[in-house]
Amino acid sequence: MRWFVVLPLLVVGLGGCDKPAPGEACETTGDGFTRKDPCEHTCVEWEVTCADESVVVPGVCSGKTCEGDGDCPSGFGCAEVDSFSRACLPQSLCPEGFHSSAGGGGGNDEKPI
- CA–CA separation, 78 and 93 (whole Å): 11
pLDDT score of 53: 93
Determine the average pLDDT of the residues in 99-112: 46
User: Cα-atom radius of gyration of the chain, to the nearest Å?
Assistant: 17
d(CA 98, CA 108): 8
**Higher-confidence residue: 103 or 25?**
25
Torsion-angle region of 70 (φ positive above 0: left; ψ -120 to 50: alpha; else: beta) = alpha
Describe the chain by its helix, strand, coil percentages, rounded to 5. Answer: 25, 20, 55
Give me the amino acid identity at 107.
G
Alpha helices in the chain (DSSP H): 2-15
Q: Model-level pTM greater than 0.75? A: no
How many percent of the chain have pLDDT more than 90? 60
